[in-house]
Each structure stands twice: as C-alpha cells, then as structure tokens.
Structure 1
Amino acid sequence: MKIWLIGALLLSYFAEAQQPIYKPFEVDSMAEPRGGQKSIDSYVRISLRKPVTALKLGLAGRVIVTGTVEPNGFVSGVSILQGLQADCDTEAVRVFSTFNAWKPALKAGKPVRQQVTYPVVFKPNKPFIYENGAQINYYDKNKGLVDSTNWKTRYKLVKPVKPNWLPSGDMVLYKSKGATSWIEDTRYKLVREELTNKTPTGKRITRLSYRTPTNELFDKSYEIDEDGIMLSSISYDKKGEPFDLFSYAPNGALLEVTRNYRSTVKLSNTGLVNSWKPTLIKHVMSWYPTGQEYAIIVYEQPDQLPQIISMRDSTGLVLVDKGYGTAIFRAIKTSHLDTTRKTLFTETGPVEGAFKQGVWTGRYADGSYFYEEQYDKGICRAGKAWAVGRDTVRYTTLENPPEFQNGMAGLEQFLRKNLRYPFDTKLKKTQSKVFVRFMVGADGTLSEYEVTKPVHPELDQEAIRIVSLMSGLWKPGIRRGMEVRMNYTVPINFSLN
C-alpha cells in the first residue's frame, strides 16, 4: 500500500513537471502581473541595484529576460534572452526572479504554464571613477562634487566597494597638498557587527556600517546574511539620521521602502495670504513577499497620523484607492492564550480622505484578543479592548509610552547620582550622547539592551550599565488600555562639565 502511494505521488509529480510550456498566443488568457503592468514595472524599477561596474561607465540599456509563469503564479527558469553586460544580466535575473505575483495563463479554463518575457531597463547615469575596487569622488572647498580635473578640487573621497555595492574597507577623505599630493583628512571606519537576531532559517546576520571619528553613523549601513544576501540598507544624512530605508526578504525580494524627507505644506489660504511651513514626512511603500504591491502609507509631523493612500490584498485586489476604501492589516502576533505560540492578527476598517474613519476592529485568529474603536479623521475617539483572562477596558488614547518613576525629573536625578564617567575617555575629552534602546516589560522590568548610536566602547558599556540599574523602576507602556511590553530609547549624556 505504501509503495503504491509513493508511486502515485511520483506519477503526479512527473505529470506536473512535464506540463508543456505554452507561448502567449497558444493560451486562451495570457499570464499577467497581478495589479497590472504598473505593478511589476514599479517593483522592478525600485528593486534594481545597478552594478558598480555599469554605473562607473554610465551604462544604459535593456536586458530582456524570459521565464515560465507556473500555474501557482510563481516564475521559474529565468534566463537571459538579450543581454547587456554580465553583471547587469545577473542583476536583471535576480530582480525578475523575485517577482512572483502573476495571474497564470488559462487554457480550456485551467491554469497552465506560459513563457513570458520582460525588459529590465538600466537608466543612464553620470559616470564616476572606480579604480582598484574603490569609488573615487572629488570635491571643492565647500565639499561640493566636482570633476577630478576641476581646478577647484580640494578633497578626494575614496570608498572601497564591491561590484554589488557592499563596502569592503574604510572610507577615507583626503585633502589636497600642493598640486599633486594628498594627505588624509578624515577616516570613516567600516564596522562589522554580528547581530543577535537571525533569519527565519537560522542564518547569521551581519551589519556593515561606516562610522565617523566620533562614532556617528555615516553614509550607509547594510545588513546581510551569511550568504551575502542583502536584508536591509539605510542611508544617513550629515547628522547621522536615516532618510532612506530598504528592507528585503531572505530571498532578496523587496519588502519595504521608507523615505524621510522635509517638505513645505500649506497651512491655510485666506484670500491673498498663504501660510506655509516645513514639515517632516515619512513615506512608506510596502510589498508582499511575492512582489505584489501592498500599501502606500504617509506620516506627517506633528501628529504622525497614518494616511493610507493605497492598499491591495495578496491577489492584487484593490482595497484602498486614492485614500478611500476598506483597509486590512495583518501580522503575526504572540497569542494571549499561550505566549509560546503565534497567531494571526487582523485589523480592518473604512478609510476616508486617507484617514481611518468610523468603526475599526482588531482580533486574534485564536480568539484571545479583540478590540473595537471609533475614529474621526484618523483620531481615535473611543475604544474598548478585551483579552483572555482580562476584563474589558475602555480608552481614548491608543498608546502611552513607558515612563520612569517620578517622570523625566526622576530620570535625570537617577543619572546624576549613578552615572560614572570612565577615566580613560575623560582624558580624551570625549563628551557625547549614547542612545540606548531597551524593552520595558509589562511589570516594569527591563531587558534587551542595545546601543543604537555608539560613541566609544567605554561610554557605551557605561550607558548599558546605568540603564540596567533602572530595571524595575519604570512604569510599563500602555496600549489600548493594557500594560504591554514596549521598546523605549533614552539618551545617556556624557559631559565633562
């Protein structure tokens, strides 16, 4: 009986594997991207990482790739039909292979395998110098980018990078000395750190980041797994603040892009007088692991209320369009019934003018948690929540962060009393802020300490020591009327005064 079953399974497998691959004109309904052509075009354009060797030449052109859309909507057997150059061809195959949000072809009413082709476009760029495995840029006295032959050249930045853009050594800024020589001005150290968390398959994660002489983050940082697959990249401004964040799935598929930027928004229009102000905007675009577009959400200061611009489900069905519709958020959460188990969390409700409006509900699939809230233009006016083993709670504020006993005044007093300035760094006259992130438990105890903005090993160690002494001295964060575990970050200020 067992042998017969295995044989039947093998026959089924080989029958599936031997299905013919149809040409587009041979099917009744051709394979197409879920969400339309714009969906795949946007995904490929944003996902594409033009190789360094192509960028240095300013190379532009198309790579035509071909593959098979399987009956399950995934693509297989991706190869080059018309190439550009070897590394561009490899990148085109990589990106196209991660887009698996296809409506399969139909023939006689059944999904079948179909060959597809797609042009991956590499746009032109201004060429730059790439020598001995390093990108080299030249700057004038005001650090403005200039050509290497420009008489105004005063600085040279040498950045060792691999063809896939991953850094391979310290970045060094040189200052001109005379007509032909250079002296080192500033060194941005490349720091490699193995993180405590791992990929879902258990692979180690390493963070590569550049640090200024004062240990501030600079230029870019990357997280990669042990196979060199990029999991995230973050770009930093001159103050060390992130402004571009890219997140990827373990297979390299693009999951999320967050862009922080300043813009000028109109406050009012009273006839002849317009009132404007600069504001910080966070723009978040996300995808399903298949490459199907998920949502575009915008946050504006000062209220930071989420503005849901668009949203689709995993099949490409439009849920929210131009700020109107019904949104559905899903995530995996820890069950209230058993903290060792996970369950599906679903939140849904109407969206009007991009803001939450009317009645919204959230629930765990295992029935251990539920809430209902009333919204008006994105603001929660009233809510009630229930969790297994807990009474129903009512609230008007969605979230209150953790708080040190006696507030900020109490925290400052604690730091003044217990903070020790390391002797060696005092001789070096080092003074700065070390930012420490930690988890505040529902009982006020602390755990999971992490220095997010390192300054100096001794200062970092002292910052962790002082924060760990605070365990049990915090009031837990409140979310939807209940005490919960919540992350919090404090700056530990080291000053010689």
Structure 2
Amino acid sequence: MNKYLLLLFVLLMYSTGLKSQETIKLFYTSDWKVTKEDEAIYYRESEYDLNNFELDGSVFDYALSGKLIMEGNYLNGKKNGNFIFYYDNGEIKNKGQYENNRRIGRWEYFYNNGKLKQVVLFKSRNEHDFSVLEYYNRDGKQLLENGTGKWKNDSIQTGMFDTESLKTVTGQFNDSLKHGVWKLIRISDNKLMHSERFQKGKLVEATIYNAQFDYYGTISSEIVNKIPDENSTKFINTEKFDLDTTVYPVALLFSDVETIFETITGKKYEVQNRDAGYIYGDYSLLEFLEKNIRYPRSAVDERITGKVYVGVVIDSLGNTRKVQLVKGIHEDLDKEAQRVVRLVDKWMPAIRDGKVVKSTITIPVNFQIKE
C-alpha cells in the first residue's frame, strides 16, 4: 500500500434500538482474554445488550480477590460516560469521561499515595489535542500551573519505536499550548527516540530515530501519544470477546457470537430481536474490509476522501441478496466500496419477535488520505 495513504474504515450499523439487557459475569486472563474461573486473574460484572451481544450499561472490573479496579459505563458497545480506575491499594489512579471510546474533557491523575499528579484537558476526540492544566511531582510540588510550566510523563509504554523498555516524555506548556522542544527518551539508556518542536501549539518539525539503520529522520506529523490510554488493549480484547485459547478450542474463535456466548457462560440465549450484522462481529468485519479494500489510484491523484454509504440486503438465511450504493462521493471509490462489501459472505440475519427476517443494513466506508 502506498506509504502516503492511511485508510480508516468506520462501520456503523443503523440500529433499531431493540435491546435486551442482562448483567453478565465473565472471567479474564492477565491480558484480558475470556477464560475459565480457575485460570482467571480478573473478573467483570457488566450489563450486556444480548440482542446485539455488546456492552451496554454499567461495567465493574475486579481482581479475583474482589478488589475493584475499574468502574465505568457503555452505550451501544462504546465507552460513554464516567470511568474511574484504581491502584491495587484502592487509591484512585485516574478518572474522567469517555465519549464514543475516546477520553474527553477534564481528567485527573493521581499517584498511588493518593496525591494529585496532574489535571489534563482532552479537547477533542483526537487524543493528541490535549493540555495539562496542573502538574505536581510525587512530593506535591507544583511544576505546572494554569496551563504553563514543565511537564513529564514517565514510564509510558509505546510500540512505535521498540518494545524493549519504557519511555519518558518531557515538554513544556505555555498558556495551555505545547511550546518548545518535546522529547521521548528511552529510560534504559537515556537515548533520544523522538523529538518534536512546537510554536504556541503548532507542530513546527519532528525527528524520529530509526533503530534499524541507526539514524534520525525527519517527519511532518505529531505521532507520539503523550498520554497513551494504558487500558486500550484491555478494552479492545473485552469488547470483542477475545478468548483464551489455552482453555477454549481455537475453532471457537471462528464461531458466531451466540455460540461463543453460550460456550463461555453455559447459558443458551434465544434472541428475540436484533439487527442483521457480520456473523463474527463488527471488529472482524472491519479487519476484513481493511484487508481487502484497495484505494483507487484515480481518487488518490485527485485527493478525493470521504464516506461511501453501501446498503446490503440480507435474507433470512444470512445471504447477501443485494448490494447497492446509498450515497457516493466518487465513481471509483463508490465501486470499490461496493466491491469489497460484496466479498462478505457470512451475515447474521435480523430477528424480529423471535423470527429471522429479511432486512437491510447500511455500512459507511470512510476513505481518508493522510500525508
């Protein structure tokens, strides 16, 4: 794929709003894969919409000892609302609000001794767009006040450059805007891995260390998530029923969500109402689209981006009966979006009042070019 292209695929099933909620208890491994109780490190009590097999409502995560480690809220399968995370000693680690799976607004972070570490404002759903309003060292000394001062985020893990050691980010804010030189330093040997220079919040230039060839190259975009969401892997795994294959057969990974649910909970659930969808779930459909779609050269040359809306008629057996353009943006992008959707051959039919029925879903495919 052309190195200047970044393809983002957004799947939005137009829901009928038909829900059937029930509180479910699931057990997890240390890397948050569903497992059996005698193999578990954590467990979760959460509300599921069993018509659509997605989180919907309150979610509580615990260590196996019963100690609370997270509480939050989901809406239609996405993190929406207030979340609180806890240290092993019961002190609050950080708290704030998610909106459509992204941190938004004011977040507070604490040391494990209960003292405030920092107050961060996430300004939009782009998590690079943040400012630190207050920052304190572990002794309680304030180093950044009213959006101005020096800032440090230590012991962060990022796979952008290597996965062998933790990193430290240092930088400065001026009137809540990134200013001056920001550095990403590898803790193990104090090596500079990445630097970015800002002028009143605007990125001026950046360099990145290439470990393979041992040199620093210039790039034109801000790429380091300076406050990465340390729970991102946990969220992804739990939201898609990622399974521990040491206790569950690998073949179960390729089953529909109802079969997976029955296997891991021991409860058979008869769905009364649900929308049609991909039999292996939305995450798998996104992966399928991303793997198979090709950005037309003509659209790249003309810098055409945007969403193509594709309608799919699915019969009561889960077969594709018709793929049609609902709303297009460019002839070649429209054709490509329809082509890749036609490749999908395993749909889960809609159910109304306990009966499978023919229905139509709409899939927006978002084409973007990012230099």
- Residue of 189, 195, 205 corresponding to 2:42: 205
Q: Which residue of 2 aligns with 1:221?
A: 59
The 5 A counterparts of 1:404-443 are: none
Q: Which residue of 2 aligns with 1:317?
A: 141
**CA distances 1:146-186 after superposition (whole Å, capped 9, x unpaired):** xxxxxxxxxxxxxxxxxxxxxxxxxxxxxxxxxxxxxxx98
**CA distances 1:51-110 after superposition (whole Å, capped 9, x unpaired):** xxxxxxxxxxxxxxxxxxxxxxxxxxxxxxxxxxxxxxxxxxxxxxxxxxxxxxxxxxxx
1:457 alignment partner, SS class: helix
In 1, the alpha carbon distance for the partners of 2:65 and 2:107 equals 28
Letter in structure 2 aligned against 1:188: Q
Task: Give structure 2 stretches of 5+ with no counterpart.
Answer: 1-17, 33-38, 226-231, 242-255, 260-277, 295-343, 350-358, 361-371
Q: Do the aligned residues in 1 keep the contact of 2:169 with 2:182 (CA within 8 Å)? A: yes
Q: Which residue of 1 aligns with 2:181?
A: 359
In 2, the alpha carbon distance for the partners of 1:196 and 1:460 equals 25
Deviation at 1:227, TM superposition (A): 0.3
**Structure-1-length-normalised TM-score:** 0.40
In 2, the alpha carbon distance for the partners of 1:338 and 1:239 equals 32
Higher relative contact order (CA 8 A, sep 6+): 2
In 2, the alpha carbon distance for the partners of 1:338 and 1:398 equals 18
Deviation at 1:296, TM superposition (A): 0.8
Q: Do the aligned residues in 1 keep the contact of 2:45 with 2:61 (CA within 8 Å)? A: yes
Letter in structure 1 aligned against 2:110: W
Q: Which residue of 2 aligns with 1:252?
A: 90
- Residue of 448, 452, 458 corresponding to 2:239: 452
Q: Do the aligned residues in 2 keep the contact of 1:451 with 1:460 (CA within 8 Å)? A: no
Q: Do the aligned residues in 2 keep the contact of 1:309 with 1:323 (CA within 8 Å)? A: yes
**CA distances 1:342-368 after superposition (whole Å, capped 9, x unpaired):** 34x221122111121111122112245
In 1, the alpha carbon distance for the partners of 2:132 and 2:193 equals 22
Rg (Cα) greater in structure: 1
Structure with greater strand share of residues: 1
**CA 293–387 in structure 1, closer or farther in 2 if over 3 Å, else same:** farther
**CA distances 1:131-159 after superposition (whole Å, capped 9, x unpaired):** xxxxxxxxxxxxxxxxxxxxxxxxxxxxx
Deviation at 1:251, TM superposition (A): 2.2
Q: Which residue of 2 aligns with 1:196?
A: 29
Q: Which residue of 2 aligns with 1:461?
A: 280
Q: Which residue of 1 aligns with 2:341?
A: none
In 2, the alpha carbon distance for the partners of 1:324 and 1:367 equals 26
Deviation at 1:472, TM superposition (A): 7.2
Percent identity, aligned pairs only? 14
Q: Which residue of 1 aligns with 2:73?
A: 235
Letter in structure 2 aligned against 1:258: G
Q: Do the aligned residues in 2 keep the contact of 1:337 with 1:368 (CA within 8 Å)? A: no
**CA 371–286 in structure 1, closer or farther in 2 if over 3 Å, else same:** same
In 2, the alpha carbon distance for the partners of 1:388 and 1:239 equals 39
1:227 alignment partner, SS class: coil
1:306 pairs with 2:130: yes
Letter in structure 2 aligned against 1:362: L
**CA distances 1:226-275 after superposition (whole Å, capped 9, x unpaired):** 1000110112357854211111112222100012479xxxxxxxxxxxxx
In 2, the alpha carbon distance for the partners of 1:379 and 1:342 equals 29
2:23 alignment partner, SS class: strand
Q: How many residues align?
A: 232
Taking only aligned residues, the RMSD between alpha carbons, in angstroms, comes to 4.2
In 1, the alpha carbon distance for the partners of 2:200 and 2:144 equals 16
In 2, the alpha carbon distance for the partners of 1:468 and 1:301 equals 26
**CA distances 1:195-250 after superposition (whole Å, capped 9, x unpaired):** 23259xx9701121111243342331011011000110112357854211111112
**CA 468–216 in structure 1, closer or farther in 2 if over 3 Å, else same:** closer
**CA distances 1:287-318 after superposition (whole Å, capped 9, x unpaired):** 01221211111112366511111111111111
**CA 196–380 in structure 1, closer or farther in 2 if over 3 Å, else same:** farther
2:212 alignment partner, SS class: coil
